[in-house]
Amino acid sequence: MARVMAIVMLAGPLAGMLGAPLSTQIMSTFHQIYNLSGWQWLFLLEAVPTVLLGCVAYFYLTDHPSQAKWLSQEDKALLVKEISQHQSATGHSNFKAVLKDPWIYFMALAYFTIICGIYAIGFWLPSLLKSGGIQNLQMVGWWRFHIYAVQFS
């Protein structure tokens, strides 16, 4: 489980490493094509497909493996069996007991600080780089790439 969580946590910096140069390239290359600014092209090329994919996923994905049309009957049976075994092995947690556990608050605080750092870099780094004298949009993108690469390592 720890390995899966580590992979999930590395997805953000990896997306930043790939997305920062790509986004700056879109904004600088497509600027003023068809009278649209670079940020408008960025929205059209990155945000609109993501929203459309989310809509498709909402109607395509199912709530339970037994409802999945894309799985074979054997796969459905195996997944349903695994889920029922996991649920019976873990049982139900008492919500009040969870709230009394100090580790829950410690982990929530740790996760909160991680997310604050990630969002601070994502939202404020371009402005900080620009105020630090880097005016070229491509250079801002490459600096962001390197900072996300440090996060990734």
By mean pLDDT, which of 2-16, 77-91, 103-117, 130-144 is the weakest? Answer: 77-91
Structure tokens at 120: 């601070």
Q: How confident is the model at residue 128 (pLDDT cuts 50, 70, 90)?
A: confident
User: pLDDT (tens digit, 9 = 90+) per residue, 69-107?
Assistant: 889 999 999 999 988 887 766 666 678 888 899 999 999
User: What's the chain's length in residues?
Assistant: 153
3-state secondary structure of 36: strand
Amino acid (1-letter code) at residue 51: V
Q: Which of 44, 42, 5, 26 is nearest to 137 (CA)?
A: 26
User: pLDDT (tens digit, 9 = 90+) per residue, 31-72?
Assistant: 999 999 999 999 999 999 999 999 999 998 998 888 888 899
* pLDDT score at 145: 86
* pLDDT score at 91: 61
* pLDDT score at 119: 84
The distance from CA 18 to its chain's CA centroid, rounded to whole angstroms, is: 13
Q: Where are the domains of the chain?
A: 8-60+92-152, 62-91
Structure tokens at 152: 């990734």
